[in-house]
Amino acid sequence: MGNYFQEEFECMSPEKIKELQNEKFLRQIKHVYENVPYYRKKMVDKGVNLSDIKSLDDIKKLPFLSKADLKSAYPQGLLAVPLKDCVRIHSTSGTTGKRVVSFYTQADIDMWNDCCARALAAAGGTKDDVCHIAYGYGLFTGGAGLDGGSHKLGCLTVPASSGNTERQIMFIMDLQATILCCTPSYAAYLGEAMKEMGYAPEDIPLKIGIFGAEAWSEEMRRDIEKTLGIKAYDIYGLTEISGPGVAFECSEQKGMHINEDHFYAEIINPDTGEVLPEGEYGELVFSSLDKQAFPLLRYRTRDICRLTREKCSCGRTHIRMEKPKGRSDDMLIIRGVNVFPSQIETVLLNNGYAANYQIIVDRVNNTDTLDVKVEMTPDMFTDNVGEIDERRKTLSDGIKTMLGIKAKVSLVAPKTIARSEGKAVRVIDKRKI
Ligand code: DLL
C-alpha cells in the first residue's frame, strides 16, 4: 500500500459513509440553493423547496443538470462563491460551441489532489516513485490533476505534458520513470514507439500506468501491460466534477472505487430519469458533496456503466463503477442496433490487432453502412491477397457475432492511421440525419 491510503475515509463502513454523505449533502444543498440562482430556479420550476430536502434519500426529488445547463449558464452561472475566492479554472475539450468552464477554490484543488494521490497510492505508488505525466497540461484537467496527486504523494514529478514522443521516451529512460500517466491510446503508442526503438519490456523502468480520460478495453490493457512491462490501472473523472480521480482502480483491477466521501453516484435510466438499483446498467450521475466553487448536483455524465458495492479484497469500501462501456452520445445506432466502439475494439484486440482503427459510418440509399478500417501489426503485414482476405473474413465474422450486424472490414498497412497524443478519435459518422 502506498503512503496516501486514507483508510479512515476509504475503508469506512457503508453506514458511516452514508452518514457522512448525508451530513455533507444537507450542507451542500443549502450552499447551492442560497448561492446558485440558476439551480434554485430549476428547483422552484420542479416544485421543490429547500424544506423538502431532509436527507440524502430526498436527492431523487432534485432536478438533473446536463451539459445543456452548463452551456446556458456559461461562464459563471453555476458559480457558488465570489470569483475572487477562486484560484483556478479548467475547461473541457468540447469540440462544438462554448466550452464548459469549471471553477475551483484552493480547498477544491486540495480535495481533488487528494483524490489523485489516493489513485496513485492505490496502484502501488509511493514517494519513492518517479511519476511521468504525459496528460496534457493547461485547460485539460489530466495534467494538473495527476500533477497535484503526484506532489501530494511525494513522487518526483515529471510534468512532460503531451506531445514530442521522442522526448517523452528520453525522459522516461533517463530519469528512470516508474509511473506513467497518460491516455491509454497514447500509452499504446508510446509502447509501440519504444518497441521500434529496440526496447524490450524488461529494459523499460516503468512499473505502473495510470490511464484514463477515454474508454479502453480489457484487451487493450493486456496489450499495454505486455509491451511496457507494467500493471495498467484505470482512472476516471470529468472536468465538471473536478477532473481525474473521481474514481480509480485498486490492486484488484476490478472496477474503480468512487471517492464516495466527496462524490455521490447514482445510476439512472437515461430515457426516464428513474434511479436504477445497484448492478443495473444506466447513465452515471454525480453530485459533488463538498466542492465549494462549482458544486454540481445530479450532473448527468452520459457515461453508461453499472455500480457494485460487493466487498473488495483491497479493504476499500467505496462503491465501485465498472469501466464505462462508452458515452451515451458515443453510442452509434447502426441499422437500428446500438453499437459502442469498445465492442468493435474488443473483437480487434482478441484477434491480435492493436487498437489502431477507425469506424466510418455513412448512409447510402437510406441504409446505414459500417466500415471498419484496421491497421495490420508489423508482424502480420503481408501483400498475400489470400491471407488478407482470410484475415478480413475472420474480423467481419467476429464483428457480426459481437453486434449482430455486418461490417465491411479493410486492412491497412502499419502506421497509416493517425495516432493521438490525447483522447483518440475513432469514429467518423458521415450520416447527416
Ligand atoms: O477526461 C478527466 C480525466 C483526465 C480522467 C485524465 C482520467 C484521466 P473530460 O475531458 O471532462 O475529463 O472528459 C470526461 O471522459 O465523462 C468519460 O466519458 C470520459 N472518461 C474519463 N475517464 C474515463 C475512463 C477527463 N477511465 C469524460 N474510462 C467522461 C472511460 C472515461 N471514459
Sheet containing 357-364: give its strands across: 408-412, 367-375, 357-364, 427-429
Distance (Å) from CA 366 to ligand 1 centroid: 34
Q: Which ligand 1 atom minimizes the distance to the CA of 327? A: 18
Q: Is residue 236 within 6 Å of ligand 1 at its C-beta?
A: yes
- Among 115-119, 144-148, 219-223, 330-334, name the one with the lowest average pLDDT: 330-334
CA distance linking residue 285 with residue 64, whole number of Å: 9
Q: Is residue 147 within 6 Å of ligand 1 at its C-beta?
A: no
What one-character DSSP code corresponds to residue 56? G
CA distance linking residue 115 with residue 267, whole number of Å: 21
CA distance linking residue 187 with residue 208, whole number of Å: 11
Give percent above pLDDT 90 in the chain: 85
CA distance linking residue 299 with residue 20, whole number of Å: 20
- At residue 323, the pLDDT reads 93
CA distance linking residue 334 with residue 372, whole number of Å: 13
CA distance linking residue 191 with residue 198, whole number of Å: 11
Q: Is residue 142 within 6 Å of ligand 1 at its C-beta?
A: yes
- At residue 1, the pLDDT reads 43
What one-character DSSP code corresponds to residue 429? E
Residue in the structure block whose three cell numbers are 438499483: 277
Distance (Å) from CA 109 to ligand 1 centroid: 18
- At residue 96, the pLDDT reads 52
Per-residue cell: 296: 454540481
Per-residue cell: 63: 432536478
- At residue 420, the pLDDT reads 87
Which sign, positive or negative, has the C-alpha torsion 70, 73, 74, 76? negative
Q: What is the mean pLDDT of residues 299-310?
A: 96
What percent of the residues of the chain are helix, what percent strand, and what percent coil, each to the nearest 5?
A: 35, 25, 40
Q: Under a CB-based contact definition with an 8 Å cutoff, are residues 413 and 381 in contact?
A: yes
Number of H helices, E strands in the chain: 11, 21
Q: Is residue 238 within 6 Å of ligand 1 at its C-beta?
A: yes
Q: Which ligand 1 atom minimizes the distance to the CA of 247? A: 26
Q: Tens of pLDDT along 71-101?
A: 899 999 999 999 999 999 999 865 556 678 9
Give percent above pLDDT 70 in the chain: 98
Contacts of 305 (CB under 8 A, 6+ apart): 267, 281, 284, 321, 322, 323, 324, 325
- Among 77-91, 107-121, 214-228, 232-246, name the one with the lowest average pLDDT: 214-228
β-pairing, 427-429 vs 357-364, is: parallel
Distance (Å) from CA 48 to ligand 1 centroid: 32
Residue among 150, 181, 214 whose CB has most ligand 1 atoms within 8 A, to mutate = 214
Per-residue cell: 12: 469506512
pLDDT band of 402, cuts 50, 70, 90: very high
- At residue 94, the pLDDT reads 57
Residue among 66, 180, 303 whose CB has most ligand 1 atoms within 8 A, to mutate = 303
Judged against a pLDDT cut of 90, whether residue 131 lies above it is answered with yes
Judged against a pLDDT cut of 60, whether residue 433 lies above it is answered with no
Q: Is residue 237 within 6 Å of ligand 1 at its C-beta?
A: yes
Distance (Å) from CA 209 to ligand 1 centroid: 16
Q: What is the mean pLDDT of residues 386-399?
A: 96
Give phi and psi for 127, each to the nearest 5: -65, -15
Q: Under a CB-based contact definition with an 8 Å cutoff, are residues 225 and 233 in contact?
A: no
Q: Which ligand 1 atom minimizes the distance to the CA of 135? A: 6
CA distance linking residue 388 with residue 229, whole number of Å: 30
Distance (Å) from CA 203 to ligand 1 centroid: 30
Judged against a pLDDT cut of 80, whether residue 413 lies above it is answered with yes
At 131, which helix (H) or strand (E)?
strand 130-133
Q: What is the mean pLDDT of residues 384-409?
A: 94
Distance (Å) from CA 202 to ligand 1 centroid: 30
CA distance linking residue 316 with residue 251, whole number of Å: 11
Distance (Å) from CA 73 to ligand 1 centroid: 22
Distance (Å) from CA 404 to ligand 1 centroid: 29
- Among 40-44, 226-230, 277-281, 329-333, name the one with the lowest average pLDDT: 329-333
Q: Which ligand 1 atom minimizes the distance to the CA of 235? A: 26
Which sign, positive or negative, has the C-alpha torsion 262, 266, 267, 268? negative
Q: Is residue 341 within 6 Å of ligand 1 at its C-beta?
A: no
Give phi and psi for 370, each to the nearest 5: -125, 115
**pTM score:** 0.90
Per-residue cell: 55: 436527507
Distance (Å) from CA 215 to ligand 1 centroid: 8
Contacts of 334 (CB under 8 A, 6+ apart): 361, 368, 370, 403, 405
Q: Is residue 141 within 6 Å of ligand 1 at its C-beta?
A: yes
Distance (Å) from CA 285 to ligand 1 centroid: 14
Q: What is the mean pLDDT of residues 357-369?
A: 91
Q: Tens of pLDDT along 261-276?
A: 999 999 999 999 999 9
- At residue 97, the pLDDT reads 61
Q: Tens of pLDDT along 46-57?
A: 999 999 999 999
As a whole number, the mean pLDDT across the chain is 94
What one-character DSSP code corresponds to residue 65? B
